[in-house]
Chains A and B, each alone.
Chain A
């Protein structure tokens, strides 16, 4: 167990080092969401104020944080391909650890990096005067809930990323699938507009969309003035936690090929 923890720590440290080295990726992962927040938030607030949203910029922030996690998990999961193509995955799998330990470490790196980036966006957003968080559970309680949502969401996305990476042969194919499948999911997750008044088919898609539960939890923590939300906090926590645990377990326990 101790040996496994040592290996996991070493692999997470390696991925963190890579992130610090790739500064452009680090900066863009934080600046891009803030830029979207400024442009879309201001643009929609001024001309297209959605019904039932009093402060669109603040409403948008939880969705942008979820989007940050999504971007981050896509990038982090792509490191699976980099390791495979450089031959490092073969080296890691020849170390004295079961494959699941290596995969867990890779997924954990994605969780840590994704969560850190999402929290950085949250921290930066909190300093913007135009964004007025409600903190309905108190600042500490709301922050704790936001942190929990970000963490669970990143476990879900890291697991999903790893699972897709193990099924899709090329990195190009992986990015294509992430773009074609996950980003539409983001659009009907309630991140950019409320799900309440949508046509039935879109409403139903929103209900079966895992990202909707993360967005709902984030909105409850930061934006909503009461504890209702779209699904309600207990359902958000139950669904997202169960999905994250299941997919993370499946992703970390699968057979893995070190070869192209």
Chain B
């Protein structure tokens, strides 16, 4: 093994180096015991059975059952307070289920099982006083990766997420997108089989979002199972092979986005009314072909079988009230609204703690 003291020549001398050297020696042995000798024959990465959790009187998860196949990109879609973050906190054992069972990668939850998982949390989770390299190496040691492997894997992952030239930068100096990519690289350090992501692209600009998903898809193509909690409909539609819609801690529907949209009206019309000209609810409901109707201020969103005849009738009845219209494909947002009667952007009435 190459000398780690050389690799850490920029670090202060004495006790820390000795501790690092000691832990490296230990980790070589420890790595041998972190992985199972063979991959589980069970093709289910996540198996949740009638899981319930409440914060006092407030129900966060209500007899939720889910199965996520190995290799899937599985989205948990729901508004704030629908139970997504609670579910992830139960999967990472930050909280204990009050009833029901969880099996990950074919095993019940244990601390040792977490060696096969990675987590990207919703909230920032970097030590601002550590550098990028130190952040990665700490994680490598927590996951008992031997020194040489940790160094190699760190270099490889930082290169993949475009942070190779920022290794000695303090994490406090990184942009929001860079921090998120570092958190992703950190979660991948031990080459997990399952990656849990809680709102991974929250507050990211479109370019950073796209870059992050490019890395996630690459990791998924290499066999990683992804469970992504999100309230971003477009993200779920675009990237998730299977989506579970959650409302108030219950599973409302599950399937591929196209399957979930099946049976829903094909198109949607977004209508922006003129100032002070918002019509009564009955106007749109009375129009033939109108499906689900959502309203937000001066904007109405209506699912329809065919947009053209619907719009012709709308202009005939209320053309003078219309400021603008846009024809869209119906989305999972429409599916959610149809099933729950509330938009995803609208939080649950009793939002539990994250």
> Real complex partners, A and B?
yes
- Interface residues, chain A, with chain B CB atoms under 8 Å away: 2-3, 5-7, 9-14, 16-18, 20-21, 82-83, 86-88, 90-98, 112, 116, 258-259
Instruction: For the complex formed, measure the closest distance between the CB of B185 and the CB atoms of chain A, giving whole angstroms.
Output: 13
Known: A6-B23, A13-B16, A86-B124. A92 touches B94 (CB 8 A): no
State which of A5, A83, A94, A258 has its C-beta within 8 Å of the C-beta of B127.
A83
Instruction: For the complex formed, measure the closest distance between the CB of A121 and the CB atoms of chain B, giving whole angstroms.
Output: 17
**Does any Cβ of A come within 8 Å of B115's Cβ?**
yes
State which of A14, A91, A112 has its C-beta within 8 Å of the C-beta of B125.
A91
Instruction: For the complex formed, measure the closest distance between the CB of B236 and the CB atoms of chain A, giving whole angstroms.
Output: 23
Please name all residues of chain B whose beta carbon is closer than 8 Å to the beta carbon of A93 when the two chains form the complex: 92-94
Tell me, in angstroms, the Cα distance from A98 to B92 when the chains sit together: 12
CB atoms of A3 and B34 under 8 A apart: yes
Tell me, in angstroms, the Cα distance from A188 to B295 when the chains sit together: 69
Please name all residues of chain B whose beta carbon is closer than 8 Å to the beta carbon of A18 when the two chains form the complex: 129
Tell me, in angstroms, the Cα distance from A14 to B8 when the chains sit together: 13
Please name all residues of chain B whose beta carbon is closer than 8 Å to the beta carbon of A11 when the two chains form the complex: 138
Please name all residues of chain B whose beta carbon is closer than 8 Å to the beta carbon of A2 when the two chains form the complex: 26-27, 29-30, 33, 144
Known: A13-B20, A16-B16, A20-B16. A3 touches B30 (CB 8 A): yes
Tell me, in angstroms, the Cα distance from A16 to B12 when the chains sit together: 10
Is chain A's interface secondary structure helix, strand, loop, or mixed overall?
A: helix
Tell me, in angstroms, the Cα distance from A86 to B172 when the chains sit together: 10
**Does any Cβ of A come within 8 Å of B354's Cβ?**
yes
Tell me, in angstroms, the Cα distance from A3 to B23 when the chains sit together: 9
CB atoms of B128 and A6 under 8 A apart: no
Tell me, in angstroms, the Cα distance from A230 to B12 when the chains sit together: 42
Tell me, in angstroms, the Cα distance from A211 to B103 when the chains sit together: 48
- Which 10 A/B pairs are nearest by Cβ-Cβ distance? A87-B125, A9-B23, A10-B141, A96-B115, A3-B30, A95-B142, A96-B114, A13-B19, A2-B30, A20-B12
**Does any Cβ of A come within 8 Å of B340's Cβ?**
no
**Does any Cβ of A come within 8 Å of B194's Cβ?**
no
CB atoms of A6 and B16 under 8 A apart: no
CB atoms of B34 and A88 under 8 A apart: no
8 further interface pairs, Cβ-Cβ under 8 Å (given A6-B141, A94-B121) = A7-B142, A10-B20, A14-B130, A90-B125, A91-B125, A91-B186, A95-B114, A95-B143
Chain A CB within 10 Å, residue with most, of B123, B129, B139: B129
Please name all residues of chain B whose beta carbon is closer than 8 Å to the beta carbon of A116 when the two chains form the complex: 15
Residues facing A in B186-231 (CB within 8 A) are: 186
Name the residue on B nearest A3 (C-beta): B30
State which of A7, A20, A87 has its C-beta within 8 Å of the C-beta of B121.
A87
Q: List 30 A-B contacts (CB under 8 A).
A: A2-B33, A3-B26, A6-B27, A6-B141, A6-B144, A7-B144, A9-B19, A9-B22, A9-B141, A10-B23, A13-B16, A13-B23, A14-B134, A17-B11, A20-B16, A21-B129, A86-B126, A87-B124, A87-B125, A88-B127, A91-B186, A93-B92, A94-B93, A94-B117, A94-B119, A95-B114, A95-B139, A95-B143, A96-B112, A259-B353
Instruction: For the complex formed, measure the closest distance between the CB of B19 and the CB atoms of chain A, giving whole angstroms.
Output: 4
**Does any Cβ of A come within 8 Å of B37's Cβ?**
no
Known: A5-B23, A5-B26, A94-B92. A10 touches B129 (CB 8 A): no
Name the residue on A nearest B119 (C-beta): A94
State which of B23, B115, B142 has its C-beta within 8 Å of the C-beta of A92.
B142
Tell me, in angstroms, the Cα distance from A2 to B25 when the chains sit together: 10
CB atoms of A91 and B121 under 8 A apart: yes
Tell me, in angstroms, the Cα distance from A6 to B12 when the chains sit together: 20
CB atoms of B353 and A96 under 8 A apart: no
Tell me, in angstroms, the Cα distance from A3 to B22 when the chains sit together: 12
Please name all residues of chain B whose beta carbon is closer than 8 Å to the beta carbon of A20 when the two chains form the complex: 12, 16
Please name all residues of chain A whose beta carbon is closer than 8 Å to the beta carbon of B22 when the two chains form the complex: 9
Please name all residues of chain B whose beta carbon is closer than 8 Å to the beta carbon of A3 when the two chains form the complex: 26-27, 30, 33-34, 144
**Does any Cβ of A come within 8 Å of B70's Cβ?**
no
